Amino acid sequence: MHILLVEDEAKVARFIKKGLAAEGYEVDIAADGKIGEQKARSGDFDLILLDVLLPKKDGFEVLHALRSDGVRTPILMLTARSAAEDIVQGLDHGAEDYLTKPFAFNELLARIRSILRREGRSPTIHRLADLQLNTLTRKATRSGTVIDLTAREFSLLEYLMRNPRMLVTRQQLSKEVWGFNFDPGTNVIDVYINHLRKKIDQGSEKKLIHTERGKGYYISEKDLAKGSTK
Ligand code: CA
């Protein structure tokens, strides 16, 4: 999640950046309206936090310029002025929401999450035991440790995790993960499963990726073949 923060007060900017970074957001700061607008146009941001009172170009001008040029990145206006007029103006010009300064940091976080959710930019997190998969950042972690996966390994793991505790066949995997409409007839899938297993399970007491011989694979906290309910 990449956020552009357009804020001229260095102290406030640092405070917000630090807080957002702690929540896992990556934050770029622009200290005036002109730079903010340039960055907003060139950068790939999920959200823009835009102060209203800014040097060179105020927040409304930036908002207006971006929206008239079709930049659709969601914008949350930060305004020190609580005048209703400001707020209406901001929302009229295509801001998603506004927040009046001073604000509680938790309030800012809640607004950001709500906008990202509405925009469909919020990640889907799959969890199984201590394994976690974030489909937006395409990061996998086990017990909090990042696991370095290739794009294909990630897709394979994602498919398994979308179908937890269910046997998936090689044919299914070759269709869903590789896009083949036929059985590739090679051991390509087994090779990938082995790589994935090494990365996910090696060094962990609990094995998550299981093989049902001659049938396929599944991901589970338990070895289902043993029929154990423990
Ligand atoms: Ca300001």
% of the chain beyond a pLDDT of 90: 53
- Mean pLDDT, residues 92-102: 85
Give residue 26 CA to ligand 1 midpoint distance, Å.
21
Is the model's pTM score more than 0.75? no
Domains with residue ranges and CATH for the chain: 2-118 (3.40.50.2300), 125-219 (1.10.10.10)
Find the radius of gyration of the CA atoms of the chain. 23
Give residue 54 CA to ligand 1 midpoint distance, Å.
5
Angle between helices 10-22 and 105-118 (to 10 degrees): 60
- Mean pLDDT, residues 112-126: 80
Say whether pLDDT at 227 is over 60.
Answer: no
Q: What is the pLDDT of residue 6?
A: 98
**Direct distance between the N- and C-terminal alpha carbons of the chain, in angstroms, rounded to an integer:** 39
- Mean pLDDT, residues 198-224: 92
Give residue 79 CA to ligand 1 midpoint distance, Å.
8
Say whether pLDDT at 87 is over 80.
Answer: no
Q: What is the pLDDT of residue 8?
A: 96
Say whether pLDDT at 100 is over 60.
Answer: yes
Q: What is the pLDDT of residue 83?
A: 63
Say whether pLDDT at 7 is over 60.
Answer: yes
Asked if 75 contacts 102 with a C-beta cutoff of 8 angstroms, the reply is: no
Give residue 59 CA to ligand 1 midpoint distance, Å.
9
Give residue 57 CA to ligand 1 midpoint distance, Å.
11
Strands across the sheet with 125-128, in order?
A: 125-128, 131-134, 139-142, 145-147
Per the prediction, the chain carries an average pLDDT of: 87
Task: Name the band, by pLDDT with cuts 50, 70 and 90, for residue 1.
Answer: confident
